Structure 1
Amino acid sequence: MGFMSADCRKRVLRPPASRENQGIVSSAPSILQQVFGYERFRGQQADIVEHVIAGGDALVLMPTGGGKSLCYQVPAIARERAGLGATIVVSPLIALMHDQVGALHEAGVPAAFLNSSLSFEEAQDVERRLMRGEITLLYAAPERVTTPRFLSQLDTLRQQGRLALFAIDEAHCVSQWGHDFRPEYRALTVLHERYPGVPRIALTATADATTRADIVERLQLQEARQFVSSFDRPNIRYRLVEKKDPSAQLLRFIEQEHEGDAGIVYCQSRKRVEETAQTLCERGVDALPYHAGLDADVRQRNQDRFLRDDGVVMVATIAFGMGIDKPDVRFVAHLDMPKNIEGYYQETGRAGRDGLPAQAWMLYGLQDVVNQRRMIDESPAGEEFKQVMRGKLDALLALAEATDCRRVRLLAYFGEASQPCGNCDNCLSPPQVWDGTDAARKLLSTVYRVQQASGISFGAGHVMDILRGKRTEKVEQFGHDKLSTFGLGAQFSEPQLRSVLRQLVATGSVAVDAESFNTLRLTEGSRAVLKGERQVLLRESLSQPAGRKRRERSGTASAVAAGLTDAAQSRFAALKAWRAEVARSHNLPAYVIFHDATLAAIAAMGPTSVDQLEGVSGIGARKLEAYGEEVLRVLASA
C-alpha cells in the first residue's frame, strides 16, 4: 500500500481523467507484455505507472529489486507513443546508464545516454537524435542536465510539446541526511521551476522519514503522490556477528556457505579492500578489488568482470554498488560497520535481486563504533547534522546488538510494522541476554579512577585489564593494581566488556580521544549510567561455531535449476553458454539478454517452435524476433 499523510493527500492534484489520458493509460499492460515480456505488474507498479502516464508527479520508495525502472520506462514509452515526446532520466552512474540503455535496446526501445564516456562527436550525435525525436528515453547525469546548453535544448523540446517526463533515479542523493548525498542533485529544482507542466517521478530504494521529507522539500515534490512499497526482502537472511578475526571469519563464511557464488564484500578502507581481495584470491576465491584510488580503467574492468562473469566476489569500499543490477549476487558481507541503517539496507539490497535465497552478513566491533563516532564528531558539519548522524549510528548499533528479530527492527526503522521473520540469525538461534548495567558502572568508575590517579587517560584494553584484575606490566608500572576497582569485574569476560563499551561509546556515555591514542574519557552522558539511571541490556557474546558442516553449493545456476529434470538441466546449461556468447558480442551483462529464471522456464518447457516461446516471462516481442530461432537451435542440439 502507498503511504501518504493526510495533509499530503489533500494537496495531491490528480491529473484529469480525460478521454485522451485514459487512452494512454490503457496502453500500459500491452507495453509491459510486448516490450518487456511480463504478463502483469507487481505490487504498486500498476498504480504508479497509471498515475505517471496520466501526468501526475510521484515519489516512489521501492526496495532494490522491486522493479523501479519499469515505473518510469513504461510511462516513457506510453507518453512517447502518444506524441508527448522524450523522457529524461537523471542517473548518477555511467555503468548504470550503459546497462539500462543496453537492456532497452535489447527490448527494441530507442534509448541513449549522455555522459563523459562519449566523445564530443558522439555526444553531438545523441543530441541531434534527441532533437529529431528519435529517442524515447535519454539518460544523463545531474551535472549535465543542469548545464545551460542542455537546458536550452529542453526549452526547445518543451516549446514543441515534446518533453514528456523527468525521472530522477537514486533520489536520496539530494538529501544531506541520506547515506549518499551528492550536492549536484540539489540543482535539479530547476526542472520544476523551469518546466512546471512536465510530470516528474523521483525514485529511491531507501529513505527514512527524515530523508524522505528532505527529498520532498529539495525537489519541490509537495504536490506529488507518494508510493511507499514494503521494504521487506524476505529472501535475504540477515546475520550480524561480533568481530574477532575478520579475515578468518570471512573465509569461513564464503568457503562453508557460498563457495562459487557471486558476492560483494564491503570494507571501510582502500587498504583493507586490497588486503582482503588478495587473501581471498590466495584461498582460491575469484575476488577483485574496487575503490576510488584504483586507476579508472582497472575499476571499469573489474566491475565489468563482476557483472558479466559467474561466481566473482567484489571486495570494495562503498564507492561500488549504486545502480548494480546484477540479479544473482548471493551474499553481501560487511567487514566493517556502515554509517547508518539506510546505507546498510541499500548495500545489503544488492543481494538476491532475483528473489532467490541470499545472505546479508556483517561483522561489527568496538573499533567500528569508535571510528564511526569519531568521523561524526570531527566532521566540519553543523551540530544539527551531527546529532542526526549520531542518532542514525545508534539505530544501527541497536540493530547489531538486538536480541529480537532483525527484520522487525530493520523495517521499523523505515516506519513499517512486521512480525518476526523466522529467517534471521536471532529468530533461528535466539541469543542469551544479560544485564550489563553493573559492568558499565564499573567500567566508567575505572576510567574515572585511572584518570584521577595518573592524570592521564588510557585505552580500552588497559581499563579492561584493571577491571578484570590482570597484573600486566603496564598495570603494575602505573600502580593501577592498587585502585579500588582492580579486579572488581573479574566475573566479566573481555568480549562482554567490549560489548558494554560499544554501547557506552555509541550512546556518548564515554568518549574515545583519537588524538591521545584512542584513550577513554568520561562525558556528561556518563553520569546517568554511574548513578544507575540507565539500564544496559546486552546480548551474550557467542563464539563462532566450530566444525560447521560445509553446505551443498547453492549458486544461482543450481538454485534456479533445482526443480528441473536432468534433461532440462542440460538444456539450461546449454542456454547459459549460448547467452554468455551473445552477451560478450553485445558487450552487455548476461542478465540483460535473458535472466536465469527465463532460461530455466524455457529449459523446463523444451519448446520446439517460436510460437511456444511466446508468453514466457521476460521474452518480449523484440527478443522473440531476435533470439527465438537461435534458442530453438540451442535446445535442439542440447
Structure 2
Amino acid sequence: MVRHVTSASTVPPTTSATPGVARPSAAEVLHRVFGFDAFRGDQQAIVDQLVSGGDAVVLMPTGGGKSLCYQVPSIVRDGTGIVVSPLIALMQDQVDALLAVGVNAAFLNSTQAADERARVENAYLAGELDLLYVAPERLNTEATKRFLGNGRVALFAIDEAHCVSQWGHDFRPDYLSLGDLAERWPDVPRIALTATATDATHREITERLSLHDAQHFVASFDRPNIQYRIVPKNEVRKQLVDFIRQEGAGQAGIVYALSRNTVEKTAAHLQAQGINALPYHAGLDAAVRQSTQSRFLREDGIVIVATIAFGMGIDKPDVRFVAHIDLPKSVEGYYQETGRAGRDGEPSVAWLAYGLQDVVQLRRMIDDSPGDLAHRRRMSAHLDAMLALCETVECRRQNLLSYFGQPSEPCGNCDTCLDPPEVWDGTVPAQKLLSTIVRLKRERNQEFGAGHLIDILRGKTTARTTQWTHDTIATWGIGADLSDQQWRGVVRQLLAKRLLATRGEYGTLGITEGSAAVLSGTSTVPMRNEPERRASSSSARRAAVADLAPADAGLFEALRAWRAAEAKEQGVPAYIVFGDATLRAIATARPGTVDDLGGISGIGEKKRASYGEALVAVVASAG
C-alpha cells in the first residue's frame, strides 16, 4: 500500500512558525516533543551551535542520536529545517516518525503526485513546516533553490555526509554541489553528519561542503553493544544457518554478499531452511525492492540477504545481527554495514565469514579496476586494512577503532577477547609453500593456484599432479603434517601479509619482495590458529527481554503485540509507534494512569495523548 504524506495543514503545529513569536527552548522541545529529559554526549553542544547560527560537522556512530542534533534546532529556530537525505525510499518513514511525535514534517521527491507536491510546497511557503526532506539530486536544481529562497530556511542538515567522498564506499556525485549552499544562504547554519569517516574522509567532508569555519564534533565510534566475530569460511551457507539459528532465531537481521547471484542463492537456501529471508539487490524490479524494504521495516523477524545496495539510511532499531558471507572491500564499508545492527543499543552481533577465495577475488578485482594507479593503490590499502582486522590476534574493537584514529582498551566482548586465538610460528610452512612456488617457476616455468600447490605439499595424487609429474618435485609431500584447511589458512594469511601475490585471471600465486626474507630465514611468520567455536547462548536473542523479571517480560511481550497491531493498522514500522526500550520501561514501571507515562523516556506529549489510554489498558490487563 502506498501512503501519502500528511499535509502540514492537517497536523497541529509543534511550534509557532511566525517570526517574532517566542519559540521554545531546546530543552523544552527535547522533553515535550521527544520525551527525553536530557541530551546525550555532544548533542547539547551541537544543538547550541546550530541554534546560535553556527555550522557543525558531526561524526557520531549509528544509534548515537544524530537526528536530534538537527531536528531540535529546526523546531527552535525560525523557518524550516531542510534535510538532505540520500534515499527517497526512506523519506516517508523519516517523516512518519516525526509526525508521530507532533512535528510538522514533509518531503519532496519524485514519488509524489502533483497535487500532493503542491500541498507540501504551499505549507513550506506558509511557514507551516518544521522540517522538509529533499534528495541531493532535487536540491541541486535551480528550480528547487529558487523555491526554497521564497520561504524561510532554518538550517540545512546534510545527512550521510560521507557520500561526498569520491573515494568512499557510498559516493554520490550530487553531494559535491552541496558546498554551494554556503554561497546562496550565507547566514543559514549547516550541519554535516555521518556515522563513519576516517581522518581523510573527515577532511574531504569539510573541504567539499565548504565547512571551513564549522565546529567539529567527533564522538567515539565504539558500539559496545555490538559483538564482532570473524570466522574462517568453510561451507558458508551451513555456517550462516547455524549462526542464525543459534544467535538470531526469529530476529531481524541483514546478510551481506558481494554478488547478486550469491544474494539470490543464499536467500533461497535460508528459505529452504525455514528462515524468513528475502533477497535485495539493484537488479531487482524497483517495486520488488520497495516491497522488500517495506516488509523488513514493518514486520518482525525478517532476514534481508543483500548487496551493499541495501542499508544506508535504514532506521530500523531492532536489527539483532548483521552477517557478511563475503569479505567487505574496506573497513569503512564494514563499519557502516555492521552499524545497522543494534541501533537501539541492545546486544547485537556482527558476524563475518571469510576465506582464501575472498582475498584472491578482491585482489583480482583491484588489478582489473578501470581506475588509475593511485585508485588501485587506495583500494589495495583499504583491503589490507580489512585483512588486518580479520587476521588480528588482538581485540577486534581496538583494531577497528584505531583505523578511525581512536585509541581504546581491549573490549572483552569480541571473539578474540572471549576466545583468544593461539599464535604459532608459521615460518617453516611458509618456507615450504614459497619454495614450491619458486621451484615450479624456475624449473618448469609454471604457476598454479592454492589448491594445486596444497596438493603438492600434502603429496596428494590427482589427475593434475600426475599429468605434470609433480610428485618428482623436491617439496612433494613435505607438508603432510597440516590438513588441507590448515594449509588454506596459511595461504590466506600469507596473502594478507603480502608475502604472496595473486597473478592473472586464474589467481595463480607468486612470491613478493617480502618473500625473500622468509625463504632465507631472516624473517619469521607468526600466524593465528583459529580456536574451535563453542555454541553460546545468544546475546541477540536475550536482548529483547534483558534485565526484565519474568512477570515484566510477559507484560513486555503483551506491549509488543499491542504495538505490532497498532503499527499494522497505521501502516508504519513498529518502531515509529514505540521502540523496545520504551516498552521495557513501561513494563518495569507499570503505569496506572496516563499521567504516570510522563516520566518514561521516549514518551512526549503527542504520543502520550495518542497512546496513553491504550498503554494503561494493556498494563492493567496484564495484572
* In structure 1, C-alpha distance between the alignment counterparts of 2:617 and 2:524, rounded to whole Å: 69
RMSD of equivalent CA atoms: 2.2
Match of 1:520 in 2: 509
Match of 2:71 in 1: 73
3-state DSSP of counterpart to 2:424: strand
* AA aligned opposite 1:538: M
Deviation at 1:191, TM superposition (A): 1.0
Deviation at 1:553, TM superposition (A): 8.3
CA displacement, residues 6-62 of structure 1 (integer Å, 9 cap, x when unaligned): xxxxxxxxxxxxxx99x97x8111110001000111111111111111111111011
CA contact (8 A) 1:129 1:135 kept: yes
3-state DSSP of counterpart to 1:138: strand
CA displacement, residues 154-180 of structure 1 (integer Å, 9 cap, x when unaligned): 3333xxxx2211100001111023221
Q: Which runs of 4+ in 1 moved over 6 A?
A: none
* AA aligned opposite 2:548: G
* In structure 2, C-alpha distance between the alignment counterparts of 1:197 and 1:118, rounded to whole Å: 31
CA contact (8 A) 1:261 1:555 kept: no
* AA aligned opposite 1:564: A
Q: 1:101 aligns with which of 95, 113, 118?
A: 95
CA displacement, residues 373-407 of structure 1 (integer Å, 9 cap, x when unaligned): 22222111222222122112111111111111111
CA displacement, residues 75-102 of structure 1 (integer Å, 9 cap, x when unaligned): 11111xxx3x111111111233221110
CA contact (8 A) 2:162 2:196 kept: yes
- In the alignment, is residue 50 of structure 1 matched against residue 48 of structure 2? yes
3-state DSSP of counterpart to 2:447: coil
CA contact (8 A) 2:364 2:507 kept: no
* In structure 2, C-alpha distance between the alignment counterparts of 1:113 and 1:532, rounded to whole Å: 65
Deviation at 1:555, TM superposition (A): 5.3
Match of 1:14 in 2: none
* In structure 2, C-alpha distance between the alignment counterparts of 1:550 and 1:344, rounded to whole Å: 25
* AA aligned opposite 1:608: G
3-state DSSP of counterpart to 1:89: strand
Match of 2:32 in 1: 34
CA contact (8 A) 2:246 2:537 kept: yes
3-state DSSP of counterpart to 1:233: coil
Match of 2:107 in 1: 113
CA contact (8 A) 1:569 1:603 kept: yes
- In the alignment, is residue 628 of structure 1 matched against residue 618 of structure 2? no
Cα separation, partners in 2 of 1:321 and 1:443, compared to 1, 3 Å:
same
* AA aligned opposite 2:347: P
3-state DSSP of counterpart to 2:613: helix
* In structure 1, C-alpha distance between the alignment counterparts of 2:494 and 2:201, rounded to whole Å: 27
User: Following superposition of structure 1 onto structure 2, how do residues 18-417 of structure 1 map, counting pairs within 5 Å?
Assistant: 27-79=25-77, 83=78, 85-157=79-151, 162-417=152-407
Deviation at 1:621, TM superposition (A): 0.9
* AA aligned opposite 2:612: G
Question: Taking structure 1 as the reference length, what is the TM-score of the superposition?
Answer: 0.90
Deviation at 1:522, TM superposition (A): 3.6
Deviation at 1:108, TM superposition (A): 0.7
Indicate the percent of aligned positions where both proteins have the same amino acid: 57
- In the alignment, is residue 609 of structure 1 matched against residue 593 of structure 2? yes
CA displacement, residues 343-388 of structure 1 (integer Å, 9 cap, x when unaligned): 1111111111121111111101111111222222211122222212
CA contact (8 A) 1:258 1:555 kept: no
CA contact (8 A) 2:59 2:197 kept: yes
3-state DSSP of counterpart to 2:39: coil
Cα separation, partners in 2 of 1:350 and 1:201, compared to 1, 3 Å:
same
Comparing 468-477 and 86-95, the one that deviates more: 468-477
Deviation at 1:470, TM superposition (A): 2.4
* In structure 1, C-alpha distance between the alignment counterparts of 2:165 and 2:519, rounded to whole Å: 38
Deviation at 1:411, TM superposition (A): 0.9
3-state DSSP of counterpart to 1:634: helix
Comparing 162-171 and 597-606, the one that deviates more: 597-606
Q: 1:541 aligns with which of 530, 541, 544?
A: 530
* In structure 2, C-alpha distance between the alignment counterparts of 1:260 and 1:99, rounded to whole Å: 23
* In structure 2, C-alpha distance between the alignment counterparts of 1:505 and 1:250, rounded to whole Å: 25
* AA aligned opposite 1:203: L
* In structure 2, C-alpha distance between the alignment counterparts of 1:549 and 1:621, rounded to whole Å: 42
CA contact (8 A) 2:280 2:305 kept: yes
3-state DSSP of counterpart to 2:150: helix
Cα separation, partners in 2 of 1:436 and 1:624, compared to 1, 3 Å:
same
Deviation at 1:549, TM superposition (A): 6.6
Match of 2:10 in 1: none
- In the alignment, is residue 586 of structure 1 matched against residue 570 of structure 2? yes
* In structure 2, C-alpha distance between the alignment counterparts of 1:464 and 1:190, rounded to whole Å: 58
CA contact (8 A) 2:165 2:171 kept: yes
Cα separation, partners in 2 of 1:550 and 1:223, compared to 1, 3 Å:
closer
CA contact (8 A) 1:55 1:198 kept: yes
Cα separation, partners in 2 of 1:105 and 1:245, compared to 1, 3 Å:
same
Cα separation, partners in 2 of 1:531 and 1:120, compared to 1, 3 Å:
farther
* AA aligned opposite 1:418: S
Match of 2:549 in 1: 564
Deviation at 1:243, TM superposition (A): 0.5
3-state DSSP of counterpart to 1:275: helix
Deviation at 1:451, TM superposition (A): 2.6
CA contact (8 A) 1:454 1:478 kept: no
Deviation at 1:533, TM superposition (A): 5.5
Deviation at 1:556, TM superposition (A): 4.8
Match of 1:16 in 2: none
Cα separation, partners in 2 of 1:551 and 1:227, compared to 1, 3 Å:
closer
Match of 1:8 in 2: none
Deviation at 1:286, TM superposition (A): 1.4
Deviation at 1:595, TM superposition (A): 0.9
3-state DSSP of counterpart to 1:322: coil
3-state DSSP of counterpart to 2:255: strand
Q: Which runs of 5+ in 2 are unaligned?
A: 1-18
* In structure 1, C-alpha distance between the alignment counterparts of 2:290 and 2:549, rounded to whole Å: 36
* AA aligned opposite 2:60: M
CA contact (8 A) 2:233 2:355 kept: yes
Match of 1:477 in 2: 467
- In the alignment, is residue 618 of structure 1 matched against residue 602 of structure 2? yes
* AA aligned opposite 1:464: I
CA contact (8 A) 1:261 1:556 kept: no
CA contact (8 A) 1:265 1:314 kept: yes
3-state DSSP of counterpart to 1:458: coil
* AA aligned opposite 2:549: L
Match of 2:15 in 1: none
CA contact (8 A) 2:349 2:540 kept: no
Cα separation, partners in 2 of 1:610 and 1:551, compared to 1, 3 Å:
closer
* AA aligned opposite 2:30: L
* In structure 1, C-alpha distance between the alignment counterparts of 2:537 and 2:347, rounded to whole Å: 17
CA contact (8 A) 2:108 2:120 kept: yes
* In structure 2, C-alpha distance between the alignment counterparts of 1:553 and 1:155, rounded to whole Å: 48
CA contact (8 A) 2:178 2:209 kept: yes
CA contact (8 A) 1:495 1:541 kept: no
CA contact (8 A) 2:388 2:496 kept: no
Comparing 470-479 and 134-143, the one that deviates more: 470-479
Cα separation, partners in 2 of 1:193 and 1:514, compared to 1, 3 Å:
farther
* In structure 2, C-alpha distance between the alignment counterparts of 1:178 and 1:536, rounded to whole Å: 32
